[in-house]
Amino acid sequence: MQGSVRGMPRIPFGTITVSDHSRRLIGEILDTRRISSGKYVRELENRFSALVGVREAVAVSSGTDADILALAVLHDFGAARGDEVIVPALSFVATGNAVVHAGFRPVFADVRRDTLNIDPDRIEPLITARTRAILPVHLMGKPAEMDRINDIAKRHGLAVIEDAAEAHGAMYKGKPAGSLADLGAFSVYVAHIITCVEGGIVTTDREDYAEVLRSLRSHGRSCNCSRCSLNVDSGYCAKRFRGEEGEDVRFVFDRIGYSCKMNELEAAIGLGAFEMYDAILEKRRRNLLYVLERFGRFAPFLTTIGEEPWERIGPHAIPIVVGEEASFTRAELTRHLEEHGIETRTLFASMPTQCRGFAHLGYRLGEFPNAEYIGKHGIHIGVHQDLGEPEMEYVLSTIGRFVEERQN
């Protein structure tokens, strides 16, 4: 077990595994002094696109930036600032923030309590002449209902962008998360299976989208090929000086952009993660399913998600929602778990009505009952690769004793 708190086992929410290969690469990179985005970032992109099964992957500095740039691409294809993007009310706040930072207005739809994901039945009534995209989130690694979402988008001529930040290893009807829409946005933050410590990756099958993404991550500059945009080498490139006055196109800017490149040291850690990907995914999946398959005994006082035959949940964490029939509060459950060495996280909030940053949009408490309920009553705990069956059984027994004591 993971250490102890007052004699109790310690079960932290997350971990990171840094491979020997990553350590060697970091040393080589430091020796060369070529630390900004370069050949290792490009290698990471190639490995990630192959893993997800798409043609292109573009690395950026965070999962939030991945969302922002995936959305900002739409400005090159007819979208205007102030247009609308439909998003689930329940998500980590970065999802809603990204819509605003990309120059759009977020329009929120409630979620389903059993899946935690956007309710497809709530999407179509929200579509207006200003709607440009739908941004579903695979919350806690559980795939959103992409068939229905894509069908709605197709009928209305909308783009679909997957927020797959937590969905490493998730599958929906035989296809990986990140390959199910026009673009996918991943986080490679420290908590995820493929981790660069910090960073994000946008996936797409469209080369034209990828070219715009490479421009956007570097201030909107005109030079956006996969070689020069990453400083893969310092040799002469004729394409750089194609301007009428012989100017360097790295200093010609075609669009409003951002500064959010990944560096070589981050890419080196990510590259090492690919060596361990299958083993980490399998162990996390084993931990997740061990708990999900045994969690029904706590109903209706506590509930979690389930895995359907057509999907594979990406093993990010275990969500837990306190039921309406429970005689205890989330605060009491959280305190009990923390006192017994089990680290917890709040299960996010209803962005439009429980996050003050979105108050200017004018939503009122009560408009998103499912998201608001989960925002007040939900937590999540870890299933990472440093844990195993003994830790998962300890989690279940600790929860079991708590529920039994409070309900009797």
- Summarised one tens digit per residue, pLDDT across range 182-220 is 999 999 999 899 999 999 999 999 999 999 999 999 999
Dihedral of CA 186/191/196/199: which sign? positive
Mean pLDDT of the chain: 93
Rounded average pLDDT over 114-121: 98
User: Distance between CA atoms of 331 and 312, rounded to whole angstroms?
Assistant: 31
Q: Does domain 20-268 have CATH number 3.40.640.10?
A: yes
Work out the angle at residue 372's Cα, subtended by the Cα atoms of residues 370 and 375, and round it to the nearest 5 degrees. 110
Rounded average pLDDT over 375-395: 97
DSSP 110: -
What pLDDT is attached to residue 233?
Answer: 55
pTM, two decimal places: 0.93
Q: Say yes or no to pLDDT of 240 above 90.
A: no
What pLDDT is attached to residue 231?
Answer: 56
Q: Confirm whether 377 is a catalytic residue.
A: no
**Cα-to-chain-centroid distance, residue 202:** 10
Dihedral of CA 332/334/339/342: which sign? positive
Dihedral of CA 402/404/405/407: which sign? positive
User: Distance between CA atoms of 171 and 150, rounded to whole angstroms?
Assistant: 16
Rounded average pLDDT over 342-366: 97
Q: Say yes or no to pLDDT of 226 above 60.
A: no
- Summarised one tens digit per residue, pLDDT across range 80-108 is 999 999 999 999 999 999 999 999 999 99
Dihedral of CA 202/204/210/213: which sign? negative
User: Distance between CA atoms of 176 and 170, rounded to whole angstroms?
Assistant: 6
Tell me which range, 2-6, 29-33, 283-287, is most confidently predicted by mean pLDDT.
283-287
- The label of the residue with tokens 């951002």 reads 258
- Summarised one tens digit per residue, pLDDT across range 60-73 is 999 999 999 999 99
Percent of the chain with pLDDT over 70: 93
> Exactly one of 75, 192, 380, 384 is catalytic; which is it?
192
User: Distance between CA atoms of 261 and 59, rounded to whole angstroms?
Assistant: 7
What pLDDT is attached to residue 34?
Answer: 87
Give the burial string for 180-210 (b: 16+ CB within 10 Å, else e).
bbbbbbbbbbebbbbbbebbbbbbbbbeebb
Dihedral-angle region of residue 335 (phi above 0 means left; psi in -120 to 50 means alpha; beta otherwise): alpha
What pLDDT is attached to residue 227?
Answer: 58
Q: Say yes or no to pLDDT of 246 above 90.
A: no
Percent of the chain with pLDDT over 90: 85
Residue (of 399, 397, 406) closest to 321 by Cα position: 399
CATH class of 4-9+277-407: alpha beta
User: Distance between CA atoms of 69 and 54, rounded to whole angstroms?
Assistant: 17
Rounded average pLDDT over 168-173: 98
Sorted by where each begins, the domain ranges of the chain are 4-9+277-407, 20-268
- The label of the residue with tokens 């959280």 reads 334
Cα separation values, 349 from 31, 69, 90, Å: 45, 24, 6
